[in-house]
Structure 1
Amino acid sequence: MNQASLECRHISLSYGATPVLRDVNLKIEPGEFFALLGPSGSGKSTLLRLIAGFNQHQSGELLIDGQDISGVPPHLRGVGMVFQNYALWPHMTVWDNVAFGLVERRESRDAIRRKVGAALELVGLQDYGQRRPGQLSGGQQQRVALARTVVIEPKLLLLDEPLSNLDKQLRVQMREELKNLQRQLGLTTIFVTHDQEEAMTTADRMAVLNQGVLQQVGTAAGLYDEPHNRFVAGFVGTANLLEGQVSALDGDTLVFDAQGLGRLTLPVPAEPPAPGAATLAFRPHQIRIAAEGEPADADRVWLQGRVEAAEFLGEFARYRVRVGEVALVADQPHYAGGAMFPPGAQVRLGLAPTQLRYLHR
């Protein structure tokens, strides 16, 4: 398989007066498994369809292996796409569905037989060639759609919400199969999803979009641990976000005036934030929740609060704790026999200063 690079340079697209993509700059490396992540209406599917050639940008350049393909029609781009609904021909057998692109290219019968057989074996459906799509499960239909796409040996593989039609257990299984297949082929793959877990467990890197603007690009751990802004912090995983002001930096001490919570005196981080308006971000699992009177870790900053709600989620318990005028979310690992804090309980929340992130707006 080819390993192509893709680059978007200052890509912008509008529908009438409505901007959908705004000055998108993005580079995807050869052989990379890359995710476009964002909420509905963020522009991620529009960007994927633009790469496929179904949409046309008004400004910017779209390059595959350094060549601008902006004016190249879809069937000449060397791009394969798997649609959300798989788009299989219901009246054709699995074999004929997979062979369709090769037949359209007028390849020889021997080449078609060899390539279709290899593609079906690749996705584990070598014994299903004479069945029709309606006789297959959702996961099997998706494999047929993948086989039909990879059989034409595209430079890029595009996946539009590939797992959204499957139940949760099958989604987990199929994302592992997708990842293994991509690694086996070494094929540059771009997939669209709104599911954070799907992107974080599958992609080498991902781009987060919101309202047509590229917010941040990086690995799952990089985006989770070091979000660039408030949107990324709140969208990639769960985060507590405190609005306020960095009002003073004095030696080893930083003062953060949090709206609705009050003044926090914190250690200065390795990269000190500039004074001014900021959002203080931290994850629920990074908070230690303790009962009144329980010994406190000296390396944490402690806040007094009251439990408003408690949820048992299996591997952990999630609490909503009122601290001043602010409700914070805190997670606590669950161990057999451990008691949960009931609503109304007075507790203390311990913040780990090394885990706090200051996001300027």
Structure 2
Amino acid sequence: MTPLKKVGVSCRHLSLSYGPVQVLKDIDLDIQPGEFFALLGPSGSGKSTLLRAIAGFNRHQGGQLLIDGRDVGGVPPHQRNVGMVFQNYALWPHMTVWDNVAFGLVERKVSRAEIKRRVQEVLEMVGLAQYAKRRPSMLSGGQQQRVALARTVVVEPQVLLLDEPLSNLDKNLRVQMREELKSLQRRLGITTIFVTHDQEEAMTTADRMAVLDKGVLQQVGTATTLFDFPANTFVAGFVGTANLLAGRIVSVNGDTLRFEAGGLGELAFPSGAMAPRVGDAAMAFRPHQVVIQPGSATVDATRVWVDGQVESSEFLGEFARYRVRVGNVAMLADQTHFSGHPLFAPGAVVKLGIEPNQVRFLAS
């Protein structure tokens, strides 16, 4: 395919309402040229609305939407030079794979020779050249998704939009297809924005992601940034799994921060450079950052240790996840599984060791 110009997409104080309901609230966002970018959030967060606004299917009422520096607020969808792959693929059932892929080029009155060249090239790119004469009903879900991608890419859009592209596939095929998606995007260099509620899908595929909740942009960054340094309790709980303990920072004196967790009591941590001020806060840390030991074990002083009792466990293959009651608080602790190592039984008295430099204090 012809090398495509890489373009950026920007939102400037973008707002959008359906009647009295404000769905997008003052969105400020910059997506870099050639970037693979994810919009991540729960149902009703506004991520699909934002994607459709970029496509031109939803009209924003406030702010600006820029593609390659050009304000496209008043530009109809077919003039924006963006391509969109819908969740249900939206293939023509009566057409062959070849005709489905060629459809957009025919509508654009591209010459027959050019259509033949571009369709053949893109079908080979997605590994479907041998299925050109089949109809969608004769293809698997993964193959149908490739057809939808090929049909969109063949018209050479400046921006590729993907709305929950893998949600209709089983788990193993989703893993395969997200790898193929990323490989295709890298080959084309096309700015790609995809919507998902699946954090694993976003974290393994996107260069960066934006987390939305209730129409508000919560945080933008790489997967590691959002996982390691969440901006607030929503991001901490949505990107990965987190222990979130509400409480209060009682004092920060010298090298020591004292945090009083509701129902747990006061804990002391190294203050660190990232510690917030005294006041209401939430303490966040990941289950895999907690060591679980028998209640009788001798423990080291490098961690903050609390006593607890196992309430339940889940064996997840690579690790076991324990729910442990500590005072009035339930904590999650992950333990890597090795053959021959028995699980802690419900009711077992244990010690939990929290790694101090992995704890994040988030302002309430």
Q: Shorter-chain-normalised TM-score: which range? A: over 0.9
Q: Paired residue for 2:96?
A: 93
- The farther-off stretch of 47-56 and 246-255 is 246-255
Give the residue type in structure 1 aligned to 2:262: Q
- The farther-off stretch of 235-244 and 259-268 is 259-268
Q: Secondary structure at the match of 1:124?
A: coil
Q: Paired residue for 1:84?
A: 87
Give the residue type in structure 1 aligned to 2:128: L
Over residues 85-109 of structure 1, what are the superposed CA-to-partner deviations in whole Å (9 max), with x where a residue is unaligned? 0000000000000000000001110
Q: Does 1:229 align with 2:232?
A: yes
Q: How does 1:189-338 map to 2 (within 5 A)?
A: 189-338=192-341
Query: Do 1:56 and 1:70's aligned partners in 2 also have CA atoms closer than 8 Å?
Result: yes
Picking from 121, 141, 150, the partner of 1:118 is: 121
Q: Does 1:181 align with 2:184?
A: yes
Q: CA deviation at 1:205?
A: 0.1
Q: Secondary structure at the match of 1:127?
A: helix
Give the residue type in structure 2 aligned to 1:251: G
CA distance in 1, matches of 2:272, 2:345: 34
Q: Does 1:133 align with 2:101?
A: no
Over residues 229-248 of structure 1, what are the superposed CA-to-partner deviations in whole Å (9 max), with x where a residue is unaligned? 00000000000000011111
Give the residue type in structure 1 aligned to 2:303: R
Q: CA deviation at 1:298?
A: 1.3
Over residues 251-306 of structure 1, what are the superposed CA-to-partner deviations in whole Å (9 max), with x where a residue is unaligned? 11111010111111111122221111100000000000000221212100100000
Q: Paired residue for 1:29?
A: 32
Q: Paired residue for 2:75?
A: 72
Where in structure 1 are there 5+ consecutive unaligned residues? none
CA distance in 2, matches of 1:307, 1:160: 41
CA distance in 2, matches of 1:15, 1:272: 40
CA distance in 1, matches of 2:305, 2:25: 42
Structure 1 runs (4+) greater than 4 angstroms displaced: none
Q: Secondary structure at the match of 1:264?
A: strand
Over residues 195-248 of structure 1, what are the superposed CA-to-partner deviations in whole Å (9 max), with x where a residue is unaligned? 000000000000000000000000000000000000000000000000011111
Q: Does 1:354 align with 2:357?
A: yes
Q: CA deviation at 1:2?
A: 2.4
Q: Does 1:10 align with 2:33?
A: no
Matched length: 361
Give the residue type in structure 2 aligned to 1:266: F
Q: Does 1:162 align with 2:168?
A: no
Q: What is the RMSD of the two structures over their aligned residues, measured on CA atoms?
A: 0.6
Q: CA deviation at 1:311?
A: 1.1
CA distance in 2, matches of 1:305, 1:355: 20
Give the residue type in structure 2 aligned to 1:113: K
Q: Secondary structure at the match of 2:258?
A: strand
Where in structure 2 are there 5+ consecutive unaligned residues? none
Query: Do 1:289 and 1:349's aligned partners in 2 also have CA atoms closer than 8 Å?
Result: yes
